Structure 1
């Protein structure tokens, strides 16, 4: 038995349907590296599946209250489907999640970055952290089970200066339907970094998220220019299509083309997503300054979920905590500088619950 497999096997706390961690082969990358799937189960029957490739969440099944569970994370069923897609399903994105203007300047030195046809750097460039082979380590405590993934991004990776060492710790609570992710990144010289997780949700398990209801503790958004780069202004959302300060169904937003906006978090820094028909609820809480709300506008049915259904336009919503796009170029924005003695720290919690089911008050 290979050392890593042996280590993970020893960490297994029970059989497939028992609380604990187990790992199994999930396929092989195009570079020949084996990929494992790691399955976390808690005492309530909630299941979280993670994979080494991209340190990604590939499945979350939450108890349905009837002795079963519902998968609320639309994604391809196998590694081949995940590798073939450019949707970054459930993966950790970096070195810089969001858009940059094709370069960064750090301590007076300019570093050019790879750009797309619009002259914009998206998520740091390709390949990013979502394509990396992360190294896993399982753990178990009295209150939780989980996986720690590590990845080392060398000096010059994606054009950024400095070696960045990243640790991503997924923790599934034993006695509540709560998954947390804590990311720490340390650098050996000054650089910039902005990480997030790109998981998509559909609390109904299938279909459109049009009848989902969203509320976000955010009264401003990051204003964008024609290239979707920040202008530097944080503008009020009150009375606009981006106003989710109170519960609002997503249907009107989707009918207008969908949403891809960075909201400026305040107060409790929490977003609450509800599917009224099933009564499922998700609360996302973070310590980051912003939340990118993306309604799966580019899904085109080319990818298929575990049941073989096309993942169609607006089949899921991503709620991505992080810093603002192009922050290194805008001094008024919260800093994304990482340096020796100044690590990046990122936290998010996904807490699932239930509300009283109600008839959908919207038209998908």
Structure 2
């Protein structure tokens, strides 16, 4: 991708309202969520970190981009894949280290320009019922497409991917919070990834995610305190994390979070900064078993019938996709974001490897917009929803879904995340 590529021209989505609460800027380059504006109580926030200039994403890698074919870290090598008589070989390419393939390899999905479908009915992976739901309930949305060729970065099979990115109107009454205040829903960001192998008799690992990083207070521009996310409150409904070796690769074992700094809900304050690890957070949390089983990530293509509507299920507030699995709240802005998903877990990363001198910070976050004035460690909470690392290699980390992240010919990959944005007026200190 070159800086002159039209993929860096932002596409703006806004909710159809006289006073829009949400607006999203998308770059086709890397399917990047460049800005997410939230308007609350007369103040405009951008809750995503990142460069001011869209082309800054070329060097500030993995900032709000899609990640694929496989999220996070895989061991480099050659691995045989077999299922129901289908045989393939995957050979992840080294990029982070000679033994580690990170986020899809040398040229992952984040480095390609994705094609926006001018006519949504040209979609091959969303059903007529889903397209009708998108039109009525996510009217400001786009379906993007790309084809990953057989052998790309060592992954077998020619893969068609379609990604729905959209904004949904706020629904339902306000929440009543424990302190008696009202918390208002400002709308939702909806991401749905679909994929299908175009080759016969192939099988490939697939594990997509959005590598988005949040700071809910930075737009207040009140100095280091609001640029840090250590005062944000987080709740991750997880019983275990995946054990990692020194290279960040899965060992195939799970570790209980109870009694550790990973048990965020157990903390007295609930703040990220309480018991903050010396090197920050960069862990995969396997979500607890949910009250109702969400739709699967892999389903037979034969089930993708015209009347099937998994998008509607993702939007439902009282169905299997309704359960809030992660919540992140700002310390001062009154903003909170919550997530529902059909994925088995979430990677929580606190921007540990960020180098301010090599990046740029948005002006709305108090930066100059120029390189050399970027974000440092602890300035963002990245929340990346996907399946456990190397799940096809390590059966012991698959969680309650049991899914191994292998997609075979004749199947469809289905990954959704709904992020709800909430606002509660910050309490006024007593005189």
State if a TM-score over 0.5 links the two structures. Answer: yes
CA change 1:357–1:152 in 2 (3 A) is: same
Task: State whether structure 2 residue 212 is matched by structure 1 residue 199.
Answer: yes
CA change 1:289–1:277 in 2 (3 A) is: same
Answer whether contact 1:212 1:274 (CA < 8 A) is retained: yes
Q: Secondary structure at the match of 1:142?
A: helix
Alignment map for 1:270-285 (pairs within 5 Å)? 270-285=325-340
Q: 1: CA distance between counterparts of 2:236 and 2:112?
A: 31
Task: Compute the displacement of 1:358 (Å).
Answer: 4.9
Where does residue 76 of structure 2 map in the other structure?
102
- TM-score, normalised to structure 2, is 0.72
Task: Compute the displacement of 1:174 (Å).
Answer: 3.3
Alignment map for 1:1-364 (pairs within 5 Å)? 29-30=1-2, 33-35=5-7, 36-42=9-15, 43=17, 44-66=20-42, 68-86=43-61, 88-103=62-77, 104-107=79-82, 109-115=88-94, 116-137=96-117, 141-144=135-138, 145-175=140-170, 176-187=186-197, 188=199, 189-206=202-219, 207-246=227-266, 248-254=270-276, 256-266=278-288, 267=290, 268=323, 270-301=325-356, 302-307=358-363, 308=368, 309-332=373-396, 333=398, 334-358=403-427
Task: Compute the displacement of 1:214 (Å).
Answer: 0.3
Structure 1 runs of 4+ with >6 Å offset:
none
Q: Secondary structure at the match of 1:245?
A: helix
CA RMSD, aligned part only?
2.1
Gaps of 5+ in 2: 121-133, 171-185, 220-226, 291-322
Between Structure 1 and Structure 2, how many residues are aligned?
Answer: 330
Worse overlay, 243-252 or 169-178: 243-252
Answer whether contact 2:324 2:340 (CA < 8 A) is retained: yes
Task: Compute the displacement of 1:111 (Å).
Answer: 3.2
Q: Secondary structure at the match of 1:177?
A: strand
Q: 1: CA distance between counterparts of 2:52 and 2:423?
A: 26
Q: Secondary structure at the match of 1:130?
A: helix
Answer whether contact 1:277 1:359 (CA < 8 A) is retained: no
Answer whether contact 1:118 1:227 (CA < 8 A) is retained: no
Q: Secondary structure at the match of 2:153?
A: helix
Q: C-alpha offsets along residues 273-294 of structure 1, whole Å, 9 cap, x if unaligned? A: 0113221101011110010000
